[in-house]
Amino acid sequence: MNLKITQLPKVAIHKDVPRINQADPEIDAVKDCPYTHCAPVAGTQSLIGLAKRIARFQMLLPSIGNMSEKDYQSKIIEQLAADMGTSSDISSPNAGTTPQQHIEGLQRFVGRRNFLLTEHEWRGWGAGEISPLLKSGPPDREWIANGLARDDKAINEHIGWYVKGDNGVYIRKGGHFITPVGYENLGSDDERHLLHDPSPRSKQETRKAKPIEIKFGILNNGEKGNEDANGYLELNGIDVKPERDCGIVDGAFVFSVERKR
């Protein structure tokens, strides 16, 4: 059951979440495909954070053994990319990972480690790239805050890059996955979401973005359809992709895990 904003702490942060550059030349899993692997990198950041924060989740990931930190991250990213069916073919319109693939890939990965996804929920439209069975209302501030206020949960957001057209139409020009790790000043005019963005633009720093609720407009993703923009969040402060006007949270996946019985 989700709590109201007034019942949640004003500040929350998910500790131990790494900041991984999806174009890091020292990470084998991404060095040859720097533009396509944001989804498995965002998932890796979340899973490492969960495994480090929560003692009962330690077996969620393999032992690091004698591997370097980057080799270890590479191993997880590579497996998640395979589980998600991530495409590194940038010449294809299907390059990268859809939200549906992201969710199903996380399920496969944790299942291989003898875990299950629990208390998991998707909200958003996923830019027309997710099963209608999963589609629900916008990922609003209160719902996101509930996920971030619990140490045993993680969240990945699917960001749409948009150009602002006429009459409130937001024209989608690509997407991106990020890992929110907390918030500050919840419920105030100075509320900020803390983000670990895999893009090199973020310079592996924790970014702070102000969530602004859209009151009017249409989210347009070409042949993949339209969505009423009312209730969706524009993130003011995220490192926007060049030649785009803004980043909007098209959808988000909140989840926890438990061992299979």
- Summarised one tens digit per residue, pLDDT across range 67-84 is 999 999 999 999 999 999
Residues 153, 256 contacting (CB under 8 angstroms) = yes
Residue 73: what are its φ and ψ, rounded to 5°?
A: -60, -40
Name the CA dihedral angle for 235, 136, 160, 165, rounded to a multiple of 10 degrees. Answer: -90
- Summarised one tens digit per residue, pLDDT across range 161-177 is 999 999 999 999 999 99
Strands 207-213 and 218-220: unpaired
Could you give the CA distance from residue 30 to residue 120 in angstroms, rounded to a whole number? 27
Q: For the chain, report the end-to-end CA distance as a whole number of angstroms.
A: 24
Could you give the CA distance from residue 127 to residue 160 in angstroms, rounded to a whole number? 8
- Summarised one tens digit per residue, pLDDT across range 135-168 is 889 999 999 999 999 999 999 999 999 999 999 9
Distances (CA, A) of 78 to 120, 195, 216, 219, 243: 23, 22, 40, 32, 30
Could you give the CA distance from residue 156 to residue 80 in angstroms, rounded to a whole number? 14
**What are the tokens at 40?**
């498995």
- Please report, rounded to a whole number, the percentage of residues in the chain having pLDDT higher than 90: 93
Q: Please state the rounded mean pLDDT for residues 107-136.
A: 94
DSSP state of 103: H
Residue 160: what are its φ and ψ, rounded to 5°?
A: -100, 135
